[in-house]
Amino acid sequence: MPGPSDGLNLRLWAPTRPSFLAVPIPKNGADMDTETTKPASTDSLIRTAAMTDRGARLSLLWVFAILNYLYCDLLGLMDPDLFKQYLTGNVGGIQITQGFLLSAAVLMEIPIAMVLLSSVLPHRASRRANIIAGTVMTLVQIGSLFMGSGPTAYYVFFSTVEIACTAFIIWYAWGWHTPQNS
């Protein structure tokens, strides 16, 4: 039976530190954090390293905006007054047609696409796309407050969060001047 003295390495797999981690992972209690005397968690290092990329942060902001869009729409389906209007095909004086639904689908594809594009486009293109998409979505959301028969309290709440998020995306992308991580 082969053993360590035979020069055979029986260790088939060993975890390695991903190249994107800037901080070394502690081994056997060595390289402890001197302030807390606790080793840094590999998971927290990975999360920290991933979020240092501005494109990843912008992508996460678009996910946040989408979740707010979706939940606001879900609450609209639970609103008895709006639900009755959905069934008639006329909501707040707006006729719900196939063309309207297609327009809404195209409009919602903007933030959905930005989740991916924020991470994969080169710096300059991603910066411009985020500024343009953020501007479009901010203006559309502001405009939606003045359409139909008037917004509900929950719609105003979600719109405020969505407008703040997309305005922040514009500001954050506007300040992204170098392709270095920041």
Contact criterion met (CB below 8 Å) for 116 and 66: no
Q: What is the pLDDT along the chain (182 residues), one digit of tens a residue?
A: 555 555 544 444 444 444 444 444 445 554 444 445 555 566 655 554 444 589 999 999 999 999 999 999 999 999 999 899 999 999 888 899 999 999 999 999 999 999 999 999 999 999 999 999 999 999 999 999 998 778 899 999 999 999 999 999 999 999 988 765 54
Paired with 95 in beta bridges are 90
pTM above 0.95, yes or no: no
Contact criterion met (CB below 8 Å) for 117 and 126: yes
Task: Give the Cα separation of 175 and 14 in Å (integer).
Answer: 41
Task: Give the Cα separation of 69 and 161 in Å (integer).
Answer: 10
